[in-house]
Amino acid sequence: MKTQRHAVILRLVQQARVHSQEELRELLLGQHIEVTQATLSRDLRELGLGKVADPKGDSFYALPADHISQFPPVEQLVPTLLLSIDGVGPLAVVRTPPGSAEALGGSLDHADWSNVLGTIAGDDTLLIITRSEKARHEVTRKLRDLAGI
């Protein structure tokens, strides 16, 4: 749940200027994620989010300039989010808990996996496009190993 919440927080602060923790908490509630102020404070600290000022003097949460990816590492997400994986040809279909496919897909898109060309995420289903059928077998094996399945 924490990893999913972190992915949603990162997405929210990149999509819109979020000016306060209370505003962020309300946006999370709109995503069906209930969180206390203390947990949200800890999440912001763990994600390295800080407030920055624009030229008008307003402040909002943003990623630090040296932040490379908005998604946690694949290795961190797979054990909790990968429920099953199957495929055909160069295409792999991954099932995740509801609302988790985007986080896993984003992590794969930003990972340095040369066999993954890209992903398309729905709510609980992720399509992974690989370079070949052989590449799909390698990717699915690696994901299964990470997930322990």
Domain ranges of the chain: 2-62, 74-147
Q: Is the pLDDT of residue 54 over 80?
A: no
What is the model's pLDDT at position 62? 83
Q: CA nearest 101: which of 117, 113, 83, 76?
A: 83
What is the model's pLDDT at position 14? 84
Cβ atoms of 119 and 127 closer than 8 Å:
yes
Segment 129-137 shows an average pLDDT of 96
Strand-by-strand arrangement of the 84-88 sheet: 84-88, 91-95, 125-130, 116-121
Q: CA nearest 116: which of 136, 101, 93, 94?
A: 136
Q: Is 2-62 a CATH 1.10.10.10 domain?
A: yes
Q: What average pLDDT is seen over the chain?
A: 88
What is the model's pLDDT at position 66? 43
Give the pLDDT band (50/70/90) at residue 20.
very high
Cβ atoms of 105 and 120 closer than 8 Å:
yes
What is the model's pLDDT at position 67? 45
Give the pLDDT band (50/70/90) at residue 64.
low
- Residues 72 and 21: their CA atoms lie apart, in Å, by 21
Q: Is 74-147 a CATH 1.10.10.350 domain?
A: no
- Residues 84 and 71: their CA atoms lie apart, in Å, by 21
- Residues 116 and 136: their CA atoms lie apart, in Å, by 8
Give the Cα-Cα-Cα angle 95, 87, 120 (nearest 5 degrees).
Answer: 55
